[in-house]
Amino acid sequence: MRETVFTNAAIVTSDRVVSGTLTLRDGLIADVSEGRSSLPGAIDCDGDFLLPGLVELHTDNLEHHFTPRPGVLWDGLSAAIAHDAAVATSGITTVLDALAVGDVRQDSNRISHLVTMVEAIAEAGSQRVLRVDHLLHLRCEISYASLIETYDRFAAMPALRLVSIMDHTPGQRQFAKLDQYYLYYKGKFGFTDQEMTGFIDLQIANQQAYSAANRKAIVARCHEAGIPLASHDDASAEHVDEAAADGMVIAEFPTTVEAARLSKAAGMKVLMGAPNLVRGGSHSGNVSAVDLARQGLLEIISSDYIPSSLMTSVFLLHRKHGMALPEAVAKASLIPAQAIGLTDRGEIAPAKRGDVVRVSEVGSVPVVREVWVEGARVA
């Protein structure tokens, strides 16, 4: 029998904060009780918080480790291990690595390195060098000509737990304002004005040629396989109606209050980026996650491109915006887990996985001190 006892801790359950003792046994949570334990070997947490391990549904962090600079491709296994370490030390114990199937450019790193990234995570897992549980989220760019054949290479993987439908065509969704699209991609790719005009024309042509058929095919495949679907960057009632008709369960990064409100009313869980919360607004000029939280529309938080922002945003919602800590924690643990059918984790409760994070606050900064996954310390 493998047992770990934590005491003198502020234990965050799904509905309250318990000052007391938490016991892990054989990889599972065995007991939560009030008061201190006198057992020899019990870990004295000095009043620190014990949270359930965070569940991350959408992070681009793996891509950043593969291509840390333009034109630089890092070793696959090393990149996977570094990504995993960053995630683990941020208090994330289950991560869906979000990898793009298709992009706005046919020669992008996302396309050329996709297979390498998937294989690297699989190899790291088989070599038992990963600290946390890695699953797969495929982000399907429906205007991509080769989307279906590329998606089908990964469709049968057991790790695939979420598929999102994306459309980054200029003039709608994330880039409803064409001037923002123009500035963003011109700066990103170093285009001249003439090249940028041609680029925009190409994106619109690709959408007209491929998007409708690709969307229909991906949605059908996911329903047949029982894989949850997410919409992406919905901006209007029309977008939300389309997502609801396609049976999507998550609304990723809605760009307007209207889209968020209608998505929630349609039964989708509204997901927003933790960097948006921490910064106090969207870097793309879209709706603020804080505004959605204040209106009761924010249900899931994602670290997006900064793993540490997930824990920061949880405590920010609690300390700055007055949200009860169990509610804030659930948005980064229990609710995302439930949204994709992971019923064995996401909360501190008997018989759940022993995924636990010890957190203290240094000033206004939550600091991850220690992390356990299935009862084993990993950080």
For the stretch 160-180, pLDDT in tens is: 999 999 987 765 666 666 666
Tokens of 199: 């680029």
Distances (CA, A) of 328 to 107, 130, 372: 40, 27, 20
For the stretch 88-101, pLDDT in tens is: 999 999 999 999 99
| 3-state SS assignment for residue 174 | helix
**CB 45, CB 55: distance < 8 Å:** no
Q: Is 363 exposed, middle or buried (0-12, 13-18, 19+ CB in 10 A)?
A: exposed
Instruction: Give pLDDT, residue 204.
Output: 76
For the stretch 186-198, pLDDT in tens is: 656 667 777 777 7
**Model's pTM, two decimal places?**
0.92
Query: pLDDT-based confidence at 105, cuts 50/70/90?
Result: low
Q: How many domains does the chain have?
A: 1
For the stretch 115-133, pLDDT in tens is: 899 999 999 999 999 999 9
User: Distance between CA 21 and CA 36 in Å, rounded?
Assistant: 6
Q: How many helices (H) and strands (E) does the chain have?
A: 15, 16
| 3-state SS assignment for residue 271 | strand
Instruction: Please state the rounded mean pLDDT for residues 205-215.
Output: 86
Q: How far is CA 343 from the centre of its chain?
A: 17
**CB 54, CB 333: distance < 8 Å:** yes
Q: How far is CA 211 from the centre of its chain?
A: 24
User: How many CB atoms are located within 10 Å of the residue 356 CB?
Assistant: 27
The residues, any chain, with a CB within 8 Å of residue 198's CB and separated by 6 or more, are none
For the stretch 331-370, pLDDT in tens is: 999 999 999 999 999 999 999 999 999 999 999 899 999 9
User: Which of the pair, 104 or 113, is modelled with greater confidence?
Assistant: 113
- CATH code where residue 124 lies: 3.20.20.140
User: Distance between CA 27 and CA 312 in Å, rounded?
Assistant: 27
If you search the block for the tokens 């924690």, which residue do you land on?
Answer: 329
Q: Is residue 34 part of a domain?
A: no
If you search the block for the tokens 């919905």, which residue do you land on?
Answer: 234
For the chain, give the number of residues. 379
Opening angle at CA 306, ends 314 and 70, nearest 5: 170
Give the residue numbers spanning the domain of 336: 53-346
Query: pLDDT-based confidence at 246, cuts 50/70/90?
Result: very high
* CA neighbor of 313 nearest in space, from 330, 296, 334: 330
Question: Is the pLDDT score of 305 beyond 90?
Answer: yes
Tokens of 313: 């945003």
Q: Is residue 310 part of a domain?
A: yes
Tokens of 140: 């399907």
Q: Is residue 174 part of a domain?
A: yes
How do strand 3-12 and strand 17-25 relate by DSSP bridges? antiparallel
Distances (CA, A) of 59 to 99, 112, 137, 204, 373: 8, 19, 9, 27, 19
Instruction: Give pLDDT, residue 67.
Output: 87
Question: Residue 1 gets which letter from DSSP?
Answer: -
* CA neighbor of 96 nearest in space, from 230, 288, 279: 230
For the stretch 37-47, pLDDT in tens is: 989 999 999 99
Q: Is residue 77 part of a domain?
A: yes
Instruction: Give pLDDT, residue 187.
Output: 58
b/e string for 238-265 if b means 16 or more Cβ within 10 A?
ebbeebbebebbbbbbbbbebbbbbbbe
Instruction: Please state the rounded mean pLDDT for residues 217-223.
Output: 98
User: Distance between CA 196 and CA 191 in Å, rounded?
Assistant: 6
User: Distance between CA 245 and CA 268 in Å, rounded?
Assistant: 11
At position 165, the amino acid (one-letter code) is I
Q: Is 322 exposed, middle or buried (0-12, 13-18, 19+ CB in 10 A)?
A: exposed
